Structure 1
């Protein structure tokens, strides 16, 4: 399922136009992104948790030259599925 398919499914489920459903989805994604960018977690009970993990600066190697290099510290979004989501996925298997 891609974003267009998701918008169509949302529109059908809640009886909105596709344009309205697209705006709702964009608002959800924007707010999720803004919250994670501030370093805060987003908890959706039954679905899962979105958090931000910090990665420290470390030394690595350039695979093509073998030269040692420094990999900058960074932050990465993480998702942990909730029990209800895990159960739903496993029930269909």
Structure 2
């Protein structure tokens, strides 16, 4: 399912226009992004939670040449599925 299909499904399920569903989805995604940028954790009970963790700098290898390269430190977003979501897909 892509973003357009999700908007269509949200509009149909909620009985709202596609424009309203798009606005709601974009608001949700924007607020999740803002919270993660601040370093907060976003949790939806039963669905899952997003958090930010720090990945340290490390050395890696270029698979084509075998040359050692330095990989810079960065923040990464992690998602952990909740119990209800995990049970639904199993």
Does TM, normalized by the shorter one, top 0.5?
yes
Q: Which runs of 5+ in 2 are unaligned?
A: none
Q: Where does residue 4 of structure 1 map in the other structure?
A: 4
Q: CA RMSD in A?
A: 1.0
Distance of 1:60 and 1:2 partners within structure 2: 33
User: Where do 5+ consecutive residues of structure 1 fail to align?
Assistant: none
C-alpha deviation, 1:49, in angstroms: 0.8
Partner of 2:25: 25
Deviation at residue 19 of structure 1 after TM alignment = 0.5
Aligned residues: 90
Q: CA deviation at 1:65?
A: 2.0
The residue aligned with 1:15 is 15
Aligned to 1:51: 51
- In the superposition, the TM-score normalised over structure 1's length comes to 0.90
The corresponding residue for 2:36 is 36
